A and B are shown apart, each in its own frame.
Chain A
Amino acid sequence: AQSVTQLDSHVSVSEGTPVLLRCNYSSSYSPSLFWYVQHPNKGLQLLLKYTSAATLVKGINGFEAEFKKSETSFHLTKPSAHMSDAAEYFCVVSDRGQAGTALIFGKGTTLSVSS
C-alpha cells in the first residue's frame, strides 16, 4: 500500500532563515511525488513534482525537493523563508502506471514565519 508521512505537523522559522519540511513515502511502484501549498481559505497550489527524472526538483517561489530512494524521502527546502510562505504544505504520492489510484495526501505541515 502507498502512504506518505509528514514528520512535522508544525514548523516555525524566522524570516530569512532556511525552511525544511520533511516527508517520507512508501510505495510499491516507482512513485510520482508532489508538494502542494495551501494558503488560508484557498485551494491547493502545485509547488513541484517528481516523476523519475532528475532527483533534485526545483519548484516555484524558490522551493526545491530532493528525491532519495534509499531513504524513501522527499523533503522540501527553501534557502530563505519569506512571510508569504506561511501556509499549509502537503506531501502527496501518486503511483504511476497503476490505474485506480488517486492522490494520497500526508496530514500536512503548517509553516509559520515570524519577522
Chain B
Amino acid sequence: DTEVTQTPKHLVMGMTNKKSLKCEQHMGHRAMYWYKQKAKKPPELMFVYSYEKLSINESVPSRFSPECPNSSLLNLHLHALQPEDSALYLCASSPAGLPGLRGLAGGTQYFGPGTRLTVL
C-alpha cells in the first residue's frame, strides 16, 4: 500500500482564522514533506521531517507551522494567512536516509491527494 491521506480535501479560511492540515501514512516511512503548489506550476518544497525532526525549512513564513507528532502523522498549522497563500498543499512521504543526516537520501516520494486551500 503506497497511500498517503490528507484531510481536509478543501479548506476555506479567513485571514484571521487558525486551521490545520493533516497528513497520514502507514508505509513505515520516516521522512515526510509539505509542498505548496500554485496553479500551472510544479510543487515547491516547504518542510522536510526526518525521523520526526524538522530537517529542512525552505524559508517558509512563520504563519505556517509544521508538526510531526509521530512517525505516521504530519500536521501543518495555519494562522494569519494571506490570500496569496491560496494553493494546493501536498504532503509526501519516503524512506529516510541515515538518522542525523540533513534532508533525504533519495528515497522515492509518495504524494497524497492534497488540500485545496482558499484564503479570503
Contact = CB atoms under 8 A, between A and B. Distances in A.
**Interface residues of B, dominant DSSP:** loop
Nearest to B2: A46
A32 B42 contact: no
Contact of A96 (B45, B101, B106): B106
A51 B108 CA distance: 10
A59 to B, nearest CB: 12
B95 to A, nearest CB: 12
B110 A46 contact: yes
B42 A105 contact: yes
Interface in A89-109: 90, 94-103, 105-108
Interface stretch (B12-20, B61-69, B111-119): B111-119
Contacts of A34: 108
Interface in B6-56: 6, 33, 40-43, 45, 48, 56
**Interface residues of A, dominant DSSP:** loop
A49 interface: yes
A102 B48 contact: yes
Contacts of B41: 107-108
B103 A106 contact: no
A90, A98, A100, A101: most-surrounded residue (chain B CB, <10 A): A100
Nearest to A107: B42
Nearest to A32: B106
Interface in A62-98: 90, 94-98
B108 A36 contact: no
**Top 8 A-B pairs ranked by shortest CB distance?**
A105-B42, A100-B103, A96-B106, A99-B101, A44-B111, A43-B113, A43-B111, A100-B102
Interface of B: 2, 4, 6, 33, 40-43, 45, 48, 56, 88, 90, 92, 97, 101-106, 108-114, 116
24 contacts: A32-B106, A32-B108, A36-B111, A42-B114, A43-B112, A46-B109, A51-B106, A94-B104, A97-B105, A97-B106, A99-B102, A99-B103, A100-B103, A102-B33, A102-B45, A102-B56, A103-B45, A103-B109, A105-B42, A105-B43, A106-B42, A107-B42, A108-B40, A108-B41
